Chain A
Amino acid sequence: MTTIDTGAIGAAVPRAEFRTCRFSGLRIEANAEKLIKFNAVTAVLFLALGGLMGLLVALTRWPAVQILPADWFYLVLTGHGANVLLFWIIFFEIAVLYFAGAVVLGSRLAAPKWAWTGFVLMVVGAVMANYAVLRGDSTVMFTSYPPLQASQWFYLSLVLFAVGALIAVFVFFGTLVVAKAEKTYDGSVPLVTFGAITAAIIAVFTLASGAIILVPTWLWSLGLVTNIDSLMYKVVWWGMGHSSQQINVSAHVAIWYAIAAMVVGAKPLSEKVSRMAYFMYILFLQLASAHHILAEPGMSSAWKIVNTSYMMYLAVMGSMIHGLTVPGAIEAAQRRNGFTRGAFEWLTKAPWGNPAFSGMFLSLVMFGFIGGISGVVLGTEQLNVLMHNTIYVPGHFHGTVVAGTTLAFMAATFLLVPLLFQRDIIWPRLAKWQPYVFGLGAAGISLFMMGAGTLGVPRRQWDISLADAVLRFEFPPAAYLMMGLNGISGVLAATGGVMFIVIIVATILAGPRLDRPGAKLAFPLHDKARERVSTYGSEGTLKLPGTIILVTLFFAAFVLYYFVNWKYLSELWLFR
């Protein structure tokens, strides 16, 4: 971190400028504020581009519509994967890191010049990737499995992007050091920052794997390396590709905790358990690249089992714990706020009209029920054969990364924008509906793609009627129905996406100003005065019947779905 600090000791930095947010009481430094704004806005722009591509993909895979011709479909699908999964998510995550480092700790950002360097590299990489894809000679999907070869610009762009992101991650670490040294906080770092640290540690591992595999692949595209082994590539590439999903999980879980804290005043049931759950991620999440190698020749079963289960599902246990502690913390807080009747008054009287809260809660529920359960089933050594590379796979990860991560990031944006831009959400009525529209659409694309996948529909495929194939066969009519419903859900999700982007952009440009005396937030933050029974929440008195019911439901669904799939598997042909 010394290099970063030397950057920081440049001319102007020690004169850090701070302002204090009137609503949240957070101390915000000018450089941090600007960098968070730029990263977050850039993220939203890539979401707009990638989302549009997603809509086109969904409409093409709707057999009755099939809006794009085959070559454009594959091109746009490559662009969709890169723009949303890499650029939208990672730009936003950098904003989250800077927020959890500088703003939450009330510190200045270490080495703003390096932070800008990282940002510029990322932008250059992201723009270059789109250039490479639109040229038409890099239609290889964002996974770019060799021997299929893209143009050199494609690999180079991803390397540049990864280097930029890595710099940003180190700026975050530097900020932690600065905050500690300048004593901007007292005691241990807040849980949200702890979650961000988890994300950042995994990010280092991930981005390094990315560089290890993409640099030789880039040389190969230049003709300097003769051969890239297809299996080795997959193993290392997924060391980046899958682990980076755990950055997303860590980041959006941190956001769940943050929103619950800001909107209903939730505090973790116990810091120890929540932190331990994060720690499980650091220890074991790196392993899961095997999720993508289960149907591959050449890897041993022992390796597959240990790796795919993150060492006996200890990381899954981490997620299951957050799945309990987040709603548990909300229930405890709401009961403290006076909503104590029955098992669920705390939930029914929650601020459902606040898009930050509703987005967060929908994200929590859908990530667990749709993305989480399907992910464990898909990642089970033998069960994988049932759906590997069918459209079940995109179904699963739209449950994690769209219904989970993207929705959580959107929810966070509704809080971040007033905080950073000091402008209030411009159309609160529209904003109220946004999480529901997007959430319903995201749930639809996840579930219908999963459904179509169980009927054998392949992923990344332009025409399931196989009209021009030599040897034809028919997919069942239900598969066509599922793909049609997926198209309709895609339109819904895209509508929710447009609502989000329009509201955010309009708010930034023309939202009512909040830096005037007397200005009020359309979606108020938690008001301490609401806490009636201040003792509620101490270990002895805490009763959480609603959360118990919710996790019981979740567990029942999990076990049932798990065994249903073993039953399907047992009915297949025999193979060993």
Chain B
Amino acid sequence: MAITPPSNRLWWKEPIHGLEIGWIVISFLWGLFMFFFMIAWHFIGQQNLSTETYRVTTAAYEQKVIDFADEYQAMDENGDYLEEDFVPVVRPPAGADVYILARTYEFWPIVELERGQSYRVHLSSVDLQHGFSLQPTNINISVHPGYEHVMHITPTESGVFGIVCNEFCGIGHHLMTGRIRVVEPGTGDAATGPADEPADDSIQAEG
């Protein structure tokens, strides 16, 4: 019994049951497979989280994001700056460096990307830890203050995407959201894409 000393004093010399041996072999091989599959995905897969990271002071990062927003803030046909819910909409060219800032309680600014284009997206926080959770695609990445995380991201679908904070960051955690717009190449219009997200009535250009 498991609560008494082994009945056979030389228990390590007992033969092993065939079923146990079979199962050990299967478990071991399956473990090896899963282990090597993670490595293989770095070569065959298109979704591998970047490890490119730089130390940065929160003030320096904040300045980079402001400069980025100033440079590329989108304009409407009258030449007025575009905002949604008083948050600037920024339209970087394909391939550009894109800066997103997390702070209590917002992701700032709103960026507009083109489907199928690759961007170098920078992500960091200027205060606490936050969680970048892109919806409804469900891509989830931690955001730390003091660490600038750089990822090459290529949106594969157009539409309006929400960001929700999924790392607890204080009493306003459930207020912390952001937005990424993805437009069809060359159109500058998210609405023409096959957005599986019905356009929410709070989403409208202002300014």
Contact = CB atoms under 8 A, between A and B. Distances in A.
B92 interface: no
B94 interface: no
Nearest to A312: B35
Contacts of B19: 269, 324, 328, 544, 547-548
Main secondary structure of the interface of B (DSSP, over half): mixed
Contact of B164 (A296, A381, A458, A470): A458
Given A230-B146, A295-B49, A475-B135, A466 B164 contact: yes
Contact of A313 (B2, B26, B32, B153): B32
Contacts of B197: 473-474
A300 B157 CA distance: 29
B64 interface: no
Interface string A278-315: 00000000000000001111111100010001001110
A314 B31 contact: yes
B46 A145 contact: no
Contact of B139 (A328, A385, A466): A385
Contacts of A575: 46-50, 139, 151-154
Contacts of A261: 1-4
Interface residues of B, number: 98
Contacts of A461: 164-166, 168, 173-174
Contact of B31 (A312, A476, A574): A312
Given A265-B1, A385-B141, A575-B151, A147 B127 contact: yes
Given A389-B133, A389-B167, A572 B38 contact: no
Given A147-B128, A187-B9, A576-B152, A473 B177 contact: yes
Contacts of A296: 142, 144
B16 A389 contact: no
Nearest to A328: B19
Contact of A231 (B137, B144, B175): B144
Contacts of B161: 473
Contacts of B140: 295, 384-390
Contacts of A294: 49
Contact of A74 (B20, B39, B173): B173
Interface residues of A, number: 105
B175 A573 contact: no
Interface in B1-53: 1-9, 11-12, 14-17, 19-20, 23-24, 26-28, 30-32, 34-35, 37-39, 41-42, 45-51, 53
Given A271-B11, A456-B136, A461-B173, 19 more contacts: A147-B127, A267-B1, A295-B140, A296-B142, A297-B53, A297-B148, A298-B144, A316-B27, A381-B38, A381-B49, A382-B48, A382-B49, A390-B140, A461-B164, A462-B173, A471-B84, A471-B179, A573-B134, A573-B156
Interface of B: 1-9, 11-12, 14-17, 19-20, 23-24, 26-28, 30-32, 34-35, 37-39, 41-42, 45-51, 53, 84-87, 105-106, 110, 118, 123, 127-129, 131, 133-142, 144-149, 151-157, 160-162, 164-171, 173-179, 197-198, 200, 202
Interface of A: 70-71, 74, 104, 139-141, 145, 147-148, 185-192, 229-231, 257-258, 260-262, 265-273, 294-301, 305, 309, 312-314, 316-317, 320-321, 324-325, 328-329, 376, 380-382, 384-390, 454-456, 458-464, 466, 468-476, 539, 542, 544, 547-548, 551, 555, 558-559, 562, 566, 569-570, 572-576
21 contacts: A145-B167, A191-B6, A230-B129, A266-B1, A272-B16, A295-B142, A298-B51, A301-B42, A305-B35, A313-B35, A317-B28, A385-B47, A385-B139, A458-B133, A471-B106, A473-B161, A473-B164, A473-B177, A539-B17, A573-B134, A576-B50
